[in-house]
Structure 1
Amino acid sequence: MLLHKVSLTEMMSRIHEPGYSPETVLDPYLERYRQVEPHIHAFVPEDEAEGRLDSEKALLQRTYSGDERKPALFGIPVGIKDLLHVDGLPTRAGSQLSAELLAGAQGSLVAKLRALGAVIAGKTVTEEFAYNGPIATLNPHNTGHTPGGSSAGSAAAVAAGLCPLTVGTQTLRSVIAPASFCGVVGFKPSYGRVPLDGVLLFSPSFDTVGFFTQNLPDMEAAAALLVPDWEAPAAPMPRKPVLGIPKGVYMELMSAEVKGLFGAQITGLEQLGYEVRYVQMPWEDELIYGNAMLRFIEGELAREHEHRFTEHRAEYGLPVQEAILRGQQIPEEELEQYRTRQRELRQDLMELMEQEGIDLWVSPAQGGTAPKNEERNTGWAGMPAVWGFAGVPTVSLPAATLEGMPLGFQCIGRYGEDEELLAWARQLWPCLAGEQPLPVE
């Protein structure tokens, strides 16, 4: 069985029990890793992984050998996408470039995890430089299907119950799509909310660190620890959120089956007293249907790799080579126009939400369920990308299945109001998770 329940909050609650030690969590983790990892390949292969974990356990034991109060994540394994630098582990970013060429300093997020007592379980698999390329990771729900990209390993590790928490990144869709495909919670904070130091960047105007857990309470606990200046509401939200659904081309970016399922979900929420408003959006159809966002990220990708690419072009995979060559032809003036439009759309969305009384935008997280591996498609940018362009916070909640494969329900909040996004989502969670079944025939 490749799926397994694992709860971050349950693990955290046991830390101060008598007799608790890092082995309490890590020994079962290693046993499950031996059983499951060969079937899903969520982690980058690592020589002497068990020896490294033994060293981390021993260090934790020495550091907290007395009666010192143990930190919040003491001994809990956390997977880190192989775009983030981790002291003691190489960064390869899914590429054939040498780890020495890509080496960099560990950033503040990983340092925070370690200060909280987390054990770095390993580096999780990513597509090459988070852009494109073959990946070994398979979907734990059905290994004949993709887990998504590019935070594939992070989502699959959580779905399989290897780790209760993993770190990913998103440029266009790389948190929301894998979360949807793997049936886990994926949270992409507001752009800039989590520092990007220690991250090998793809497109600095988009790139955002995100997180994966199996359920929403676990995500709220992780966010409170890891998102700077987190201030969760002191009490439950006093009313039901008003839900906004974009009019126009955006809601055509999905299969007929997904559209029918989402319509049934919305009908059910309305029957539970949720108000839904259909709103004309402040973006142009060509922003979604055209290639502007792709040109934007490829232009920035080319600039991020300018010095490496000149000397090491042959070591890059063909899709990344071609993207960088296209990006080199895009003038800086065009990129600056995109950046200006980003800031404008962010402001336009905030004003529109105020005018229309919208608390949350909602949509399917993806236009379909996980494609089969032979289709060589790791997801669709349509549903999450425009929100990433605007930099607003989004979360994918496991909400349904189609033909046995998961499909996420995406909630989108106001820029900078990540705490409110998760608090509103907490109200929807019981309905979507089946604890309060939607009254849909």
Structure 2
Amino acid sequence: MNLDNPPWVTTLIASRGDAQACASRLEQARARADELDPQLKAFTFRPDHYDGVDHAAAKPLAGMPIAVKDLIATADMPTTYGSPAYAGYLPAEDAEIVSRIRALGGIVFGKTVTTEFAWRQPGPTVNPWNPLHTPGGSSSGSAAAVGAGIVPLAVGTQTLGSVIRPAAYCGVVGYKPTHGRVPTAGAHPLSQSLDHIGFFAKRVEDVALAQALFVDGKADVLASIDAWNGAFTPRRPVSVGVIRTSLWSRADAQQQANFDQSIERLKAAGVEPHELELRVDLPVIVDALNTILQVEAHRNIGPVAAKHPDKVSDRMKALVEAGAAVPAAKYDEARALQKELSAQSAAFVGGYDVLVSPPATGGAPRGLDDTGDATFCAAWSFLGMPAVTIPSGRTADGMPLGLQLIGARDTDLSVLQFAAWAQATLPAFG
């Protein structure tokens, strides 16, 4: 698969252009999808025509083709949530994030593959770097579509690690904002207490634009993307907290070595790294997270599983059944712990500018029956803290590896500024 980055992808977010330029970009995106998607299988649906597209140059996203995960409602395109139970389903209205994209001049280029209801049953998407490897999940298609250079920006969701992990596997930037900062209305819930809307792009600056528009609501002051490029400034962190956790052994040797090399490169560039332990052991957080996930998945997916048992996977049935068996007191305790620890997110950062951690246990695993391990994303989803992953190297067989940066809740802009500096400092695939 040809992964040479098309020039139009790298320049699209850096300029606004007129209607003719916007139309040209859209056609180039379509041509790239036509070429690559028969093998990549990133999209569940792409329109034959893009009617009513607003190319108004004054809008920040004018003419930008943006891929949207099929967990997120689009009134003019089928939304199946990755489930046969919703084959051909057309929602009555757009999700909130889709409405915002359209209002800002963006084009919903197509719907991307999600695992079933954002859980563990994979779709058909393959990894753009090697079709024998998983792209990760649950935002499989969104990560792969950006990784293959089809679109410059894609929208996904994360409950455990569904933005950060596939971004790392596909060699792109993934950004999970502070929980609740991007409305999830219109995205099918798996677990409301954990679900986030997130973004994929090639550069941190580009997901930072999404942060400005969709998290900080700066559309009124961003007359053009040119103005944004002058406003966003990468920053070198002075000190970073290095998080390995008690589950460090789950990271394979190549991920561990790449992580250590990344820390050394940051240190050589003037950053002070400090080894830091989580305030609460990761297995405790993972247990509480799984309790919340199981109960809320039972509430959200249980009725569909009961009505259409032949159209729901065994993996989803197992999750729903586990949720039905959780005592109410255990769920209440898990939610109380989540609220208590989330309020202490600044203490988790420990006074450092930003935390760094692996985004995954290694490169994308070989095989398409599993989407990978979310261990190193779980704490930040549970705590609702902003996280960004950037490419940081490759495995011996050429699969991408990443570095994850995390900050206290509502410090999204600072985390993105540090991540932009780190992306410029580290070799993307050294």
Question: Do they superpose with TM above 0.5?
Answer: yes
Structure-2 change in CA distance of 1:433 and 1:116 (3 Å)? farther
TM-score relative to the length of structure 2: 0.90
1:429 aligned onto 2:423: yes
The whole-number CA distance in structure 2 between the counterparts of 1:167 and 1:239 is 27
User: 2:188 maps to which residue?
Assistant: 200
Equivalent of 1:414 in 408, 415, 420:
408
1:130 aligned onto 2:118: yes
Structure with bigger gyration radius: 1
Contact 2:235 2:421 in 1 (8 A): no
1:265 aligned onto 2:253: no
The whole-number CA distance in structure 1 between the counterparts of 2:235 and 2:138 is 37
Structure-2 change in CA distance of 1:224 and 1:109 (3 Å)? same
User: 2:2 maps to which residue?
Assistant: 2
Task: Please show how residues 213-362 of structure 1 align to structure 2 within 5 Å.
Answer: 213-229=201-217, 236=233, 240-246=237-243, 248-287=245-284, 291-353=287-349, 356-362=350-356
User: 2:31 maps to which residue?
Assistant: 31
Structure 2 unaligned spans of 5+: 222-227
Contact 1:4 1:159 in 2 (8 A): no
The whole-number CA distance in structure 2 between the counterparts of 1:176 and 1:188 is 7
1:107 aligned onto 2:98: no
Secondary structure at the residue paired with 1:20?
helix
The whole-number CA distance in structure 2 between the counterparts of 1:79 and 1:352 is 34
Equivalent of 1:144 in 122, 132, 147:
132
The whole-number CA distance in structure 2 between the counterparts of 1:393 and 1:41 is 29
Secondary structure at the residue paired with 1:80?
strand
How far is the alpha carbon of 1:224 from its aligned partner?
1.6
User: 2:379 maps to which residue?
Assistant: 386
User: 1:367 maps to which residue?
Assistant: 361
Contact 1:104 1:198 in 2 (8 A): no
Contact 2:77 2:90 in 1 (8 A): no
Contact 1:282 1:349 in 2 (8 A): no
How far is the alpha carbon of 1:334 from its aligned partner?
1.8
The whole-number CA distance in structure 1 between the counterparts of 2:130 and 2:238 is 35
Task: Please show how residues 161-176 of structure 1 align to structure 2 within 5 Å.
Answer: 161-176=149-164
How far is the alpha carbon of 1:285 from its aligned partner?
4.3
The whole-number CA distance in structure 1 between the counterparts of 2:281 and 2:16 is 51
How far is the alpha carbon of 1:241 from its aligned partner?
3.1
1:397 aligned onto 2:394: no
Residue-by-residue CA offset, 1:208-228 (whole Å, 9 max, x unaligned): 000000111222222222224
Contact 1:194 1:228 in 2 (8 A): no
Instruction: Give the counterpart letter for 1:193 in structure 2.
Output: R
Secondary structure at the residue paired with 2:84?
coil
Contact 2:154 2:199 in 1 (8 A): yes
Instruction: Give the counterpart letter for 1:76 in structure 2.
Output: M
Secondary structure at the residue paired with 1:294?
helix
Residue-by-residue CA offset, 1:365-413 (whole Å, 9 max, x unaligned): 1111001115x33111111111111110000001111121101100001
User: 2:225 maps to which residue?
Assistant: none
The whole-number CA distance in structure 2 between the counterparts of 1:92 and 1:28 is 27
Secondary structure at the residue paired with 1:78?
strand
Deviates more, 1:102-111 or 1:260-269: 102-111
User: 2:144 maps to which residue?
Assistant: 156
Total equivalences in the alignment: 419
Instruction: Give the counterpart letter for 2:98 in structure 1.
Output: V
How far is the alpha carbon of 1:193 from its aligned partner?
0.6
Structure-2 change in CA distance of 1:399 and 1:104 (3 Å)? farther
TM-score relative to the length of structure 1: 0.88
Residue-by-residue CA offset, 1:43-89 (whole Å, 9 max, x unaligned): 0045xx32x33xx2xx23xx56xxx6442222221111011001111
User: 1:15 maps to which residue?
Assistant: 16
Secondary structure at the residue paired with 2:401?
strand
Structure-2 change in CA distance of 1:87 and 1:44 (3 Å)? same
Secondary structure at the residue paired with 1:186?
strand
Residue-by-residue CA offset, 1:200-243 (whole Å, 9 max, x unaligned): 00000000000000111222222222224359996747763311
User: 1:43 maps to which residue?
Assistant: 43
Structure-2 change in CA distance of 1:239 and 1:163 (3 Å)? closer
Contact 1:14 1:20 in 2 (8 A): no
The whole-number CA distance in structure 1 between the counterparts of 2:182 and 2:26 is 27
User: 2:76 maps to which residue?
Assistant: 88
Residue-by-residue CA offset, 1:152-203 (whole Å, 9 max, x unaligned): 0000000111111100000001001100000000000000010011110000
Q: What is the aligned-residue RMSD (CA, Å)?
A: 2.4
Contact 2:386 2:409 in 1 (8 A): yes
The whole-number CA distance in structure 2 between the counterparts of 1:238 and 1:166 is 25
How far is the alpha carbon of 1:362 from its aligned partner?
0.2
Deviates more, 1:310-319 or 1:99-108: 99-108
Instruction: Give the counterpart letter for 1:253 in structure 2.
Output: R
Instruction: Give the counterpart letter for 2:155 in structure 1.
Output: V
